[in-house]
Homo-oligomer: A and B are copies of this chain.
Amino acid sequence: MSASLPPPDMGLLPEGLSDRLPPQAEASARLVRHVLDSVASFGYARVMPPMAEFEDSLLARLQSASAQDLMRATDPASGRMLALRPDITAQVSRIAATRLGKAARPLRLSYAGQVLKLRADQLRPEREETQLGAELIGTDSDAAATEIVGVAIAALKAAGVTGITIDFTLPGLVDTLATGPMPLSPDLIEPVRARLDAKDAGGLVALGPQAAAYMPLIEAAGPFHPAMERLEAIDAATGGVLTGRIAALRAIAKPIGWDITLTLDPTERHGFEYQSWFGFSIFAEGFVGELGRGGGYAIEHKDGHSEPAIGFSLYPDPLIDAGFGAEEAQSVFLPLGHNESRAAALRAEGWRTVTALSDADDGRALGCTHWLDAAETIAY
């Protein structure tokens, strides 16, 4: 509660920061709730890290953020720099490595919250986003990857998302091939990755014969089954270094229902440098850009050991912006002098009640679908 004085520019919000109003705000909360409930049903326990941390500690666990992208301020208590979190997974890694360092593995954790950057990404002007997800810590085995993809799909379905596409990727693929059957000089590795990301066959050829050998990988992208056959052909031609990964991808895909579209883009990095063998991106029909992503990574512990982990994050704001999940609740107007115990009973049944505070209150203008007459609810 606080009194208000007229602000200099009432209602103007900074670029990339916005209000959610009814009914989208409720749709957003409902979606987060359904996703978290679904994730919890697979044994993932909620953690809530703080909105801000020491900048150096946060940056050390963030790979794709730089200090100038963060909202920062000097901490009057310590003199050190604080930063708002631009990502929650780095905080979950910290928790797994420290306070939950001795908890039994595999450790299953979930989270949801706001993340904030001072500078937006190129693709989306939003500087604040909702991020939620699940992390499976202690293993990034085939079984772990199968579980995490299944948990992500179940969560999206629980939230009512349809037309889901999951795009698999093998982040270590170029390294595996470059140090094995398809040698690349070290200075070529990054240019080859970049041309593969861009599906730029001409660019690969222009890099010379070593790079040109990677052209078949461009063809091994697309709908899952034909792309896998092309990847198997590459594997057969290169001495079977990919056989294990191909088997893992098939194992992950096996339990996924036909209502999900699977694609393979073996060299795609989605702008992220996964350290592990497997990654995936999540798309939904009608939405440009990914709704989420996941994959394996490593968590560094204080004693220097590194622990495998795998997880996924969802960024559901585009769904909400598009009106996803907004539903008008049935609500009943309670005129002056209504029966309060009947009103309480209606609320207990799941109705929303809107109580008249004066003769002037108009239930229909207030969005009510029904009104209470004596003991019955009557539709407007």
Contacts and interface: CB of A to CB of B under 8 A. Distances in A.
Contacts of A33: 33
A355 B143 CA distance: 10
A205 interface: no
A53 B118 CA distance: 12
A164 interface: no
Given A10-B57, A20-B48, A116-B51, A73 B71 contact: yes
A20 B111 CA distance: 11
Given A1-B295, A42-B352, A95 B147 contact: no
Q: Determine how many copies of this chain the complex contains.
A: 2
Interface residues of A, number: 126
Nearest to A41: B347
Nearest to A275: B3
A191 interface: no
A19 B42 contact: no
A43 B331 contact: yes
Contacts of A72: 73
A267 interface: no
A7 B94 contact: yes
A311 interface: yes
B1 A60 contact: no
Contacts of A61: 2, 4-5, 7
A352 B97 CA distance: 25
Contacts of A54: 9, 12-14
Nearest to A68: B76
B14 A77 contact: yes
A170 interface: no
A283 B264 CA distance: 57
A263 interface: no
Contact of A104 (B25, B347, B365): B365
Given A17-B50, A19-B48, A25-B46, 14 more contacts: A1-B312, A4-B299, A10-B98, A12-B54, A19-B49, A22-B45, A25-B45, A41-B352, A42-B352, A43-B353, A43-B354, A43-B366, A50-B128, A52-B116
Interface of A: 1-23, 25-26, 28-29, 33, 36, 40-43, 45-54, 56-64, 71-73, 75-78, 80, 82, 84, 87, 89-91, 93-95, 97-100, 104, 106, 108-109, 113-114, 116, 118-119, 127-128, 139, 141, 143-144, 147, 255, 272-275, 279, 293-295, 297-302, 304, 311-313, 329, 331, 340, 347, 350-355, 357-358, 361-362, 365-368
